[in-house]
Amino acid sequence: MLPPPQVPLGARFDRYIDAPLRFNIDMAAEKARQLVANRTFETMVLDPKTGRLVPGKVPAHVGMVIDLTNSTRYYDAEQWIRQNIKYIKASQLEGLWHRKGALRTPGPA
């Protein structure tokens, strides 16, 4: 998991921001890819010879963005998809977590 560096802005904001200060989705995706380049995760992998799970390493990759903002005005979410990165609004996850009970809080003692 990578901490959000800043909110990338769509091209419609370019006229308000000097070029050296701009930060868009293409830049965010490239920065994230640089951060995970040459990194691996230890996990269980399928051994092709035996068909069993064995300890192994898999390369890290940028696969998903969870948008924590409560707005759609900063950029076009389709830009993430064009970068081959899954895009989810945090508000979409909230209902899922509540339905599965993951966010339930304990009752009074």
Predicted confidence (pLDDT) per residue in 41-66, tens digit: 999 999 999 999 999 999 999 999 88
Percentage of the chain exceeding pLDDT 70: 81
The β-bridge relationship of strands 64-67 and 86-89 is parallel
Alpha-carbon span 75 to 3, nearest angstrom: 19
pTM, entire model: 0.71
Residue with token string 């904001």: 13
| pLDDT (mean) for 77-105 | 74
Looking at the DSSP bridge assignments, the partners of residue 44 are 55
Q: Which residue has the higher pLDDT, 103 or 94?
A: 94
Predicted confidence (pLDDT) per residue in 1-25, tens digit: 556 668 899 999 999 999 999 999 9
- For the chain, which residues make up each domain, given as ranges? 11-100
